[in-house]
Amino acid sequence: MTSLVMLAVMIFGLFAYRILPVNDLPNIDFPTIQVTSNLPGASPETMASAVATPLERQFSTIAGLDSMTSTNGQGVSTITLKFALERDIDAAAQDVQASISKAARQLPQDMPNPPSYRKVNPADQAVLYLALISQTLPLSAVNEYADTIISPRISMISGVAQVQVYGSQKYAVRVQLDPQKLANRKIGIDEVSSALARWNVNIPTGGLQGDKQAFTIQATGQLYNAEAFKPMVVAYRNGAPVRLQDIAKVMDSVENDKIAAWYNAEGKSTRAIVLAIQRQPGTNTIEVVDSIKKQIPGFRDQLPGNVQLNILFDRTESIRDSVADVKFTLLLTIALVILVIFLFLRNLSATIIPSLALPLSIIGTFAAMYGLGFSVNNITLMALTLSVGFVVDDAIVMLENIVRHMEHGEKPMDAALRGSKEIGFTIISMTLSLVAVFIPVLFMGGMLGRMLHEFAVTITVAILLSGVVSLTLTPMLGSRFLKPHAAERHGRMYNAMERFFNGMRNLYERTLKRILGLRRAVIVITAVMTVLTLWLFTKMPMGLLPSDDIGALFASTEGAQGISFEDMKRHQQKLADIVLQDPNIEAFMSAVGAGGSRVGSNSGFMFIKLKPRHERKLNADQIIQNLRPKVMGVPGVLMFMQNPPPIRLEATMSKAQYQFVLQSPETDELYKNATDFEMKLRGLPMLQDVTSDLQMKSPQLNLDIDRDRAASLGITAQQIEETLYSAYGTRQVSAIYTPTNQYNVIMELEPQYQMDPSALSMLYVRSNTGELVPLSSLSTMEKGLGPLSINHLGQINAVTISFNLKPGTPLGDAVTAVEKEARALPASITTGFQGTAQVYQASTKGLAMLLILAIVVIYIVLGILYESYIHPLTILSGLPSAGFGALLTLLIFGKDLNLYAFVGIIMLVGIVKKNAIMMIDFALEAQRNEGKKPMDAIYEGAIIRFRPIMMTTMAALMGTLPIAIGFGAGSDSRRSLGLAVVGGLIVSQLLTLYITPVVYYYMDRIQEMVKGWLAGRRESKEARAKG
């Protein structure tokens, strides 16, 4: 029966493993929605007040909204809504749509389109980058293929949030007016705009219905290209028609000629259309990318031969590599643990029996993972890898006890029955107390709780399964397959190993006798160790998530405020040339101009794909440090590089990894203090790449309208601003409709009249008498400075200061230093960290409390199992030495106390107490059944349990050693966990073998004293009652 149950577990587990989804991490995405609004030509102030503010008021009433940020630039506003983890993103999207509809009446009526929203985190990394290039076709034609063939079909794939196009060059007809020719013919800009709207139409024209035949009426009101627009009659002067080509250049152009993108590979840079595909929060990265890549051969078949579609970056490559390496680490760990068992038992059948606990526990866990909706990811696989070291512990303890009885001459069946009965409670105690460590983790909230939930559940299931296997399958197999001790014949290797282990036990026996004679010294050492551990804990450099290498880098570029597009292109190309020469880089895309989360025309972006890790000597962080001095040498532009973190905790993309926000309703005071504070942070030696999103020095022309003069001529402020909008706002005055797409007709002045403020004197506004009045007679003009972007956080003006850490700087030290500088700010300025640094602040208290709760829960479970308040303290007495070893090892290897290291320390709490449980269980039985004194009982228990203690500790050590050494992709981020466990195990193993017997002796005395005191009180009460 037992074998059939175990076979069923194996079958269900293997079936579940085949269909489990694969991902890099558990689903810990915050539900995030981005709302985008466009009003071409509008200033940042207009976008903030007229567009963002009405929308923000409506969004603020949505339930479950965690944070709301907005960025407002020239003609564009993006609002990012981040919701609580438990909020359903589809329900939140419905609320967002309802709020947009409510705010519609308060928005400017001339917005070309209503605000749109997407279920996407703009700060999240795109899962796939595609680049379209052609050496012969114009970019507008290449863009057409992206717009009509590729982007729509990818957008329809389940799990795709948006297809962000960099360097979009969508076709448009551009009408560039000559203000001098307009003035000579006394034609106003408004007349041209009206003519374009009247003569390019696409209106339903109906049809004819005869007795026998019907006709559809189709008029030629729609024009389709620049050539068709040129002969259009705008007006008549002196009886002659004035055609559009007489007063303007009409050309086939692009919708936005102030953006550009390049594909850089193999030493050359090519203009390109780059598609960045982002997944919806909560979807599986590998499934989404695989679905997209299945479509790519079809896309290539539909493209002409002179258009190439290249995969620039595939996020799943690093995910698959990382998961594959964790799988390899898991298999290596299993092999090492089995080797440890064999070295101790030196018997093939005896090795196989406890080793069966490994596949049964791990494969059985896959079935539970499937039922709970988990995925095969780095966290769950790491949990299984760590569990390898101690899922065999119970089976080892069980088998070792059976073998010990057989060595005393008992038959296999009798030894199995007696040994399992003798050790059953010990195994239950070890299993339940180890599971108890992870109970507090299951109740953690927030991002850390979501991330560690799958880890805790996975490792708990594996431990419980191993306990069941050890109590059922291991004794059954032992009774059937172990040979009687007398029937075995041993070779030289066995005898040599036996002499070695006997020598170790004899050494331990001799040293333990001496230590038990120095009991007070041991207590003093234990106390000192506890104090040192607490001191080390307060002095440890703190972090949140270790840096990883996913084979890619982000870079934000920023030119001077007011820089022209052409000059920004030149600067961007200089930076690209430097990056292109780096031998560690395989390919990258580069883009300039507003787009995506960038609203500034002085901004640029690079996404850099690194060569595979085995082809380069430097990791991602080292490549950044190598490139930094080179790109800093390019004058007129700044470049901020980031190694993408494993988890994006921000809702907005910033130029550096960590953010600190200043807020105040008083904008002047906010901007002044933010500028000063930024300069102070730049002076901190531990920070680099300090920058802010405050851009208030963009050159601008301020027109002061003479309202009395304008009114006397029947001219309104609206007319004046409409004229300016038509001249310089790339105004969309008409549209071209085709069966597959829609294209804009854009009106503006010729480029030479958009280069100098003096050109404004050539503009005219029509008065109520029909005469054209020079704009210069209606207003005065002066140069000034204004904002390039305006940002809000929770409807209040905000400035975000971003920074990166210098190599070797712990996040905790940086947070403390920034907070210290922030205390000097006025009380009217509200401050706080955002994103990763904010989560770090919350996690430092949460993780410390988690560790304390884990110890408390174990104490309670052990107290219940042993029906004692005292003995759980004995079992937990080895924790300080384990903590000291873990923290010291992290310091030696230069690792900070981050989330993974904390998980390792919490695991140590569960692992280390196993040694004490094995000793104390035997000692208690000896005292109860054989009447031995506490000192004799614990001494005998330590000696008899020495071999299983060494076996379980070595198994746990081998289970974490591969993680501590670090193999393959993503191993750097896992090393801190492995180092913490290995260091803690080594130190605690050396010390607890001696500390536990001494503490047991004193705790037993205390228990007897308490019992005696309680008995005395009870007797005195009874005596008083009788008296």
In order, the DSSP letters of 610-621 are: EPPGGG-SS-HH
pTM: 0.82
**Phi (first) and psi of residue 156, to 5 degrees:** -80, -15
Q: CB of 29 within 8 A of CB of 771?
A: no
72 torsion bin: left (phi>0), alpha (psi -120 to 50), beta (else): beta
Instruction: Please report the pLDDT score of residue 651 as a whole number.
Output: 63
Whole-angstrom distance, CA of residue 604 vs CA of residue 568: 8
**Cα(850)–Cα(844) distance, rounded to whole angstroms?**
10
Q: Which two tokens stand for residue 882?
A: 């384990």
CA distance 86 to 447: 11
According to the model, what pLDDT value does residue 493 have? Answer: 67
Q: Return d(Cα 981, Cα 911) in angstroms, integer.
A: 9
User: What's the confidence (pLDDT) of residue 755?
Assistant: 85
User: Encoding tokens for residue 987?
Assistant: 């130190």
Look up residue 421 and give its two tokens. Answer: 């009965």
The full set of domain ranges for the chain reads 30-119, 171-202+220-254+698-786, 494-539+868-1027, 551-643
Spatial neighbors of 555 by CB under 8 A, at least 6 apart, are: 575, 579, 605, 606, 607, 608, 639, 640, 641, 642
Residues with Cβ < 8 Å from 589, sequence gap 6 or more? 129, 131, 166, 261, 262, 263, 264, 272, 274, 312, 606, 607
DSSP 863-918: HHHHT-SSHHHHHGGGHHHHHHHHHHHHHHTT--B-HHHHHHHHHHHHHHHHHHHH
Q: Which residues contact 711 (CB under 8 A, 6 or more apart)?
A: none
Mapped onto helix, strand or coil, the DSSP state of residue 177 is strand
Residue 694 CA to residue 667 CA, distance in Å, equals 11
Beta-strand pair 796-805/790-793: antiparallel
Q: CB-hemisphere CA count at 13 Å for 679?
A: 5
The pLDDT, as a whole number, for residue 967 is: 63
Contact 659, 650 (CB under 8 A): yes
DSSP class of residue 794 equals T
Please choose, from the candidates 838, 833, 985, the residue with its C-alpha nearest in 3D space to the C-alpha of residue 908.
985
Q: Mean pLDDT per segment of 10 residues, for the chain of length 1027 residues? A: 78 88 79 88 88 94 91 89 87 94 90 86 82 93 92 92 90 94 91 93 89 88 93 92 95 91 90 91 85 94 93 89 81 83 77 81 90 86 80 78 79 83 82 84 77 88 87 83 63 72 86 88 89 88 83 90 89 93 93 68 90 88 92 91 79 82 90 92 92 85 89 90 88 89 92 88 88 89 84 91 89 91 91 86 78 86 83 87 92 88 85 82 83 86 85 82 74 82 88 87 83 74 68
Written as six digits, the tokens of 546 are: 């270790």
3-state secondary structure of 214: strand
| Residue 167: DSSP 8-state | S
First-to-last alpha carbon distance for the chain, in angstroms, is 64
Helices (H) and strands (E) in the chain, counts: 33, 31
Core vs surface per residue 40-60: b (16+ CB within 10 A) or e: bbbbbebbbebbbbbbbebbe
| Number of other residues whose CB lies within 10 A of the CB of residue 703 | 16
Domains 30-119 and 171-202+220-254+698-786 share a fold: no
SS (H, E, C) 809-832: CCHHHHHHHHHHHHCCCCCCCEEE
Residue 37 has a pLDDT of 92
- DSSP, residue by residue, 278-300: EEPTTS-HHHHHHHHHHHHHHHH
Coil vs helix vs strand at 344: helix
Can you tell me the distance from the alpha carbon of 161 to that of 126, in angstroms, rounded to the nearest whole number? Answer: 10
CB distance 948 to 333 below 8 Å: no
C-beta separation of 153 from 139 below 8 A: no
Q: How far apart are CA 885 and CA 979, in angstroms?
A: 10
Domain 494-539+868-1027 superfamily per CATH: Multidrug efflux transporter AcrB transmembrane domain (1.20.1640.10)
3-state secondary structure of 990: helix
Residue 105 has what DSSP assignment?
G
Are the C-beta atoms of 714 and 768 separated by less than 8 Å? yes
| Under 8 Å between Cβ of 70 and 78 | yes
C-alpha atoms less than 13 angstroms from C-alpha of 119 in its C-beta half-sphere: 23
Nearest-angstrom CA–CA distance, 358 and 888: 31
Q: Going by C-beta distance under 8 Å and a sequence separation of 6 or more, which residues neighbour residue 429?
A: 862, 865, 866, 917, 921
Number of Cβ atoms within 10 Å of the Cβ of 799: 24
Rounded to whole angstroms, the Cα distance separating 808 from 939 reads 47
Element (H, E) at 164: strand 160-166
Biggest distance spanned by C-alpha atoms of the chain? 135
Q: Which two structure tokens, joined as six digits, stand for 901?
A: 């290291």
Question: Which CATH code of 3.30.2090.10, 1.20.1250.20, 2.60.40.10, 3.40.50.80 fits the domain covering 171-202+220-254+698-786?
Answer: 3.30.2090.10
900 vs 910: CA distance, rounded Å: 16
Distances in whole angstroms, Cα of residue 849 to Cα of each of 460, 765, 835, 841:
20, 70, 22, 13
Give the span between the Cα atoms of 573 and 591, in whole angstroms: 10
With contact defined as beta carbons under 8 Å apart, do 916 and 989 qualify? Answer: no
For the domain spanning 30-119, the CATH number is 3.30.70.1430
- Residue 112's SS3 state is coil
Amino acid code (one letter) for 887 = L
36 by DSSP, 3-state: which?
A: strand
Going by the DSSP 8-state scheme, the letter that residue 22 receives in this structure is: B
Place of tokens 């006890």: 401
Class of domain 551-643 (CATH, top level): alpha beta
114 near 78, Cβ under 8 Å?
Answer: no
270 beta partners: 263
Nearest CA-CA partner of 182 in 769, 745, 774: 774
Cα separation, 928 vs 867, in Å, equals: 14
Q: How far is CA 129 from the centre of its chain?
A: 18
- Per-residue DSSP letters for 467-490? HHHHHHHHHHHHHHHPPPGGG---
The label of the residue with tokens 């004193």 reads 1002
Phi, psi of 118 (to 5 degrees): -140, 145
Dist. CA 179–CA 762, nearest whole Å: 6
| Residues 169, 253: Cα–Cα separation, whole Å | 9
Tokens for 742, please give them. Answer: 């829609």
pLDDT of residue 152: 92
User: How many whole angstroms separate alpha carbon 480 and alpha carbon 489?
Assistant: 19
**36 phi/psi in degrees, rounded to 5:** -120, 135
Integer Cα distance of 962 and 971 in angstroms: 10
